[in-house]
Amino acid sequence: MAKSILQERQRALLQQEKQLAIDLASCLENFEGGESYEKTLRQVTASLDDLFLLVIVGEFNAGKSACINALLHDEVLEEGVIPTTHQVTILRHGAEQSQHMLARDILEMDYPAEFLRDISIVDTPGVNAILLKHQRLTEEFVPRSDLILFVTSTDRPFTQSEKSFLERIRAWGKKVIFILNKIDLLRSPEELQKITTFIANNCQQLLGFRADIFPVSALLAQQARQAVGHQAVELWERSRFGKLEEYLFETLDAKERVRLKLLSPLGVMQRLLDQTRASVEERAKLLAEDARTVTNIEKQLTFYREDMERNFKHRLTEITNIVLEMRQRGDYFFEDTIRLRRILDLVQSERIRREFEHEVLGDSAARIEHAVQEMIDWMVEQEHHFWQNIMEYIDRRREVSLRRDDHMIGTVSRQFDYNRRLLLQSVSHTVTGVIQTYDQEAESTQLSQDMRNTVAQAVITGAGGIGLGALIVAFMGTLAADVTGIIAGLGLLLVGYGIIPLRRKQAKRAFDEKMMELQQGLTSAMSEQFRKELQNSINRIEDAIAPYTRFVRAEQQKTTEIQARISQLNDTITTIKNEIEKG
């Protein structure tokens, strides 16, 4: 009954792990670059239904094949002082010894050893740096293992290349057992103790785990098999291979093998999840900086609008002041001209008109024309300058991003990095292109024409197409005709002293109304055109950076969702681990 419950519980845990692998694969599918983990996840999931996988790793000439031969009590694998294992070899149980290529660089060998009914042994190529292809084959097979036997030797214990390799395979969460081979080369037990202490201390300090170390001599074990009687027993005892076999075949019983096998894929998935999390977090930091870039540009646009509007009001005031000065001169002109003492002059309309144009209108039209043109040139210059600022800011961001992208964590970010760099480059080229094709003279001419047409339509209906100066002159001419007509009429309407103050008041009122009309017309028309041109300028900049803005916001949303999914999957792994450890 207890066995039935245990088996039922194991099946439930197996199903949970398979579903976890499916969920993890689904999560990585939505994260470009995650497809590189698909093969590993598929292999790990498939290994759940396979026998317990004991993988032997280590540098060449450490004695990996010799140790396996000692376990098999036969010369099954080739041994030598030069690299002899060129592919991964999987040893499984078979009625008789045979071999065949299971896949490229993977040899499957059958052998009639009883313990192979429950355990498959994997012999791997050496992991020395000079044999990079062999090392790659070994590292690719490590995630599928349930237990790793790391073979080192007394003549080269815990080398730098072994340390580097151990760091990489431990990251998969695998249980590692050390086999210290070639103890027959040592002269005393003290030397052996010194080496085992050295390995144990380095494992603890450099790799963060307590090493289980089995000192053995594969050579003496093989000699014991060939010897007889007391000599065979003595050689076997000196080889210390019995303790390793005891661990593998007794301590590592069925229950312990099941526990390790269930934990093994969780370690792999935890590694993939940790790598993805590191990459996602790095991406989130970059996106946060990108978001700040977008926000800064948006703030600069706001400041740009505010500065432009504030300066426009100041420049518009300069124009309205010209109209105000005319109004003040007009008041003085009427006060001085419409007097009884000048009754004879008042009937001479042409003389009054010339005086009015000279003393009141003066060069106002030219001054207004000049002020408007200065405003137009200012608007064009400010937009061009702002475009340059945006380009320089984006280019600085690109340079920082390119430097930082070189240090991105994990392969799952490569496509994201490429897309992001390409987009930043595209935005920069767009802004640069705008600046390079920005003809300030043409822009100023077009804006002048738009402004003149707008003013013409607002001040004198049907006058569009004439210059702003001609427009003001035409308006002033109409004003002069109206005012001098009123003044000239005094000669015919002079009935008594009271008529002159009345006509002076009428003339001033008529003039004031015309000045108000001119001021309001100019202010309204120029403000409307200014707002239109300012909004067009801002729209062009927003359109230029819109792809970058959309990319950043979309990726931030995606990243947030993936982070939440990673956290959920991590909780699931922890829950399953705790359930397995409860036994």
- The model's confidence at residue 558, banded by pLDDT at 50, 70 and 90, is confident
Greater confidence (297 vs 401) lies with 297
- Which pLDDT does position 361 carry in this prediction? 76
Give me the mean pLDDT over the 234-245 stretch: 92
- The model's confidence at residue 533, banded by pLDDT at 50, 70 and 90, is confident
| Residues 6 or more apart whose Cβ sits within 8 Å of residue 216 | 67, 70, 179, 180, 181, 183, 239, 240, 241, 244
- Which pLDDT does position 449 carry in this prediction? 59
What 3-state class would DSSP assign to 452?
helix
Greater confidence (417 vs 24) lies with 24
What letter does residue 150 receive in the DSSP assignment? E
Greater confidence (409 vs 241) lies with 241
Any idea which residue has 């004439």 for tokens? Answer: 466
What is the C-alpha to C-alpha distance for residues 199 and 211, in angstroms, rounded to an integer? Answer: 8
- Cα maximum dimension of the chain: 159
- The model's confidence at residue 311, banded by pLDDT at 50, 70 and 90, is very high
What is the C-alpha to C-alpha distance for residues 454 and 414, in angstroms, rounded to an integer? Answer: 53
What is the C-alpha to C-alpha distance for residues 147 and 172, in angstroms, rounded to an integer? Answer: 11
Question: Alpha-carbon dihedral of residues 29, 30, 35, 41, nearest 10 degrees?
Answer: -40
What is the C-alpha to C-alpha distance for residues 363 and 217, in angstroms, rounded to an integer? Answer: 112
- Which pLDDT does position 210 carry in this prediction? 86
CB 150 within 8 A of CB 57: yes
What is the C-alpha to C-alpha distance for residues 496 and 326, in angstroms, rounded to an integer? Answer: 30
Asked whether residue 480 carries a pLDDT value surpassing 90, the answer given is: no
What letter does residue 121 receive in the DSSP assignment? E
This prediction has a pTM of 0.65
Strands 119-123 and 147-153, by their bridges, are unpaired
What is the C-alpha to C-alpha distance for residues 275 and 171, in angstroms, rounded to an integer? Answer: 10
Any idea which residue has 């070189």 for tokens? Answer: 406
Asked whether residue 506 carries a pLDDT value surpassing 80, the answer given is: no
The separation between the first and the last C-alpha atoms of the chain, rounded to the nearest angstrom, is 16
Of the spans 137-146, 165-174, 218-227, 354-363, which averages the highest pLDDT? 218-227
Helices 364-405 and 254-337 pack at an angle, to 10 degrees, of 170
Backbone angles phi, psi at 119, to 5 degrees: -135, 135
CB 148 within 8 A of CB 80: no
CB 409 within 8 A of CB 282: yes
- The model's confidence at residue 129, banded by pLDDT at 50, 70 and 90, is very low
Tell me: the pLDDT tens digits for 30-77?
Answer: 666 666 677 778 877 777 778 888 999 888 778 888 898 888 888 888
What the block records as the tokens of 370 is 């000049």
- Which pLDDT does position 347 carry in this prediction? 55
Asked whether residue 310 carries a pLDDT value surpassing 70, the answer given is: yes
What is the C-alpha to C-alpha distance for residues 170 and 97, in angstroms, rounded to an integer? Answer: 33
**Whole-number average pLDDT of the chain:** 77
Any idea which residue has 């010369």 for tokens? Answer: 75
Handedness of CA 258, 260, 263, 267 (dihedral sign): negative
